[in-house]
């Protein structure tokens, strides 16, 4: 299937590693131009070289800083004439078991929220005028399965908030031809194998499998999907979503 992404102008935050980088590879494979965005300049440049295409920009950006975000979007729009796709994947990775309530600090929750929720909001707010002007655009927010599980207070708060942000973006921007969806990955390989027992497939998904779904949602082929959440975790065993 031709995803009709040839020549598309895409921004991928968190693009120097993990799911973000896998999404960038998938978009490049479909013929899109990709702006890789992350904080670590050296890691970002290495990732850009690995994509092996001239149609890539590596832009060091701190998504917790609105000025930095706006400068990044302005550069992409100036060089390519607009923005067609935004994939928000910049977030602090979970490290180990979440702390119990007694040890969870306000600062930890605020940092999670600032990076993932407000960071996604800043990027969407910056690209929206460009997408509205051209009458089309795709925003895909990479959240996480903690939105559908307990066990991490901070993880659940930030991921549910991303889903709520996405639905609001969809309703406001939809009349302008701009859609917004949220993807909930679960643990991805090579996380500890025992986590696979919580999935319906009894295995962990890969970053490439998550990226395949994200790239489809970035395409005009997915135009009828907006405001909704898509689980990409190999199934959430024992849960019913409707």
Tell me, what's the pLDDT at 1? 85
Residue count (the chain): 242
- Tokens 């004439």 correspond to 81
Tell me, what's the pLDDT at 98? 86
**Would the pTM count as exceeding 0.85?**
yes
Tell me, what's the pLDDT at 207? 97
| pLDDT tens for each residue of 190-200 | 888 899 999 99
Helix, strand or coil for residue 7? coil
Tell me, what's the pLDDT at 52? 87
Taking the domains of the chain in order of start, what are their residue ranges? 9-95+103-232
Helix, strand, coil percentages in the chain from 3-state DSSP, rounded to 5: 50, 15, 35
The CATH number of 9-95+103-232 is: 3.40.50.720
Residues facing residue 10 across a β-bridge: 34, 85
Can you tell me the distance from the alpha carbon of 93 to that of 204, in angstroms, rounded to the nearest whole number? 17
Tell me, what's the pLDDT at 149? 86
Tell me, what's the pLDDT at 217? 98
Token readout for 217 is 């949602």
Q: Rg for the chain (alpha carbons), in Å?
A: 17
Helices (H) and strands (E) in the chain, counts: 7, 7
Residue stretches of the chain with pLDDT short of 50: none
């Amino acid at each position: 299937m031709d995803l009709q992404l040839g020549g598309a102008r895409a921004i991928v935050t968190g693009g120097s590693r993990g799911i973000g980088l896998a999404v960038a590879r998938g978009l490049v494979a479909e013929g899109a131009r990709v702006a890789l965005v992350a904080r670590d300049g050296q890691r970002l440049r290495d990732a850009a070289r690995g994509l092996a295409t001239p149609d890539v920009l590596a832009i060091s950006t701190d998504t917790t800083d609105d000025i930095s975000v706006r400068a990044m979007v302005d550069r992409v729009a100036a060089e390519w004439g607009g923005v067609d796709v935004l994939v928000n994947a910049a977030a602090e990775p979970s490290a180990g078991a979440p702390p119990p309530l007694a040890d969870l600090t306000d600062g930890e929750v605020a940092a999670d929220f600032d990076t993932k929720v407000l960071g996604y909001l800043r990027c969407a707010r910056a690209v929206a005028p460009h997408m509205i002007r051209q009458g089309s655009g795709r925003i895909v927010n990479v959240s996480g399965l903690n939105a559908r599980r307990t066990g991490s207070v901070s993880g659940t708060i930030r991921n549910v908030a991303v889903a709520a942000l996405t639905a609001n973006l969809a309703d406001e921007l939809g009349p302008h031809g701009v859609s917004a969806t949220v993807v909930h990955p679960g643990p991805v390989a090579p996380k500890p194998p025992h986590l696979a027992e919580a999935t319906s497939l009894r295995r962990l998904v890969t970053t490439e499998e998550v990226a395949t779904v994200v790239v489809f949602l970035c395409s005009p082929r997915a135009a009828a999907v907006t405001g909704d959440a898509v689980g990409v975790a190999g199934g959430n065993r024992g849960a019913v979503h409707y």
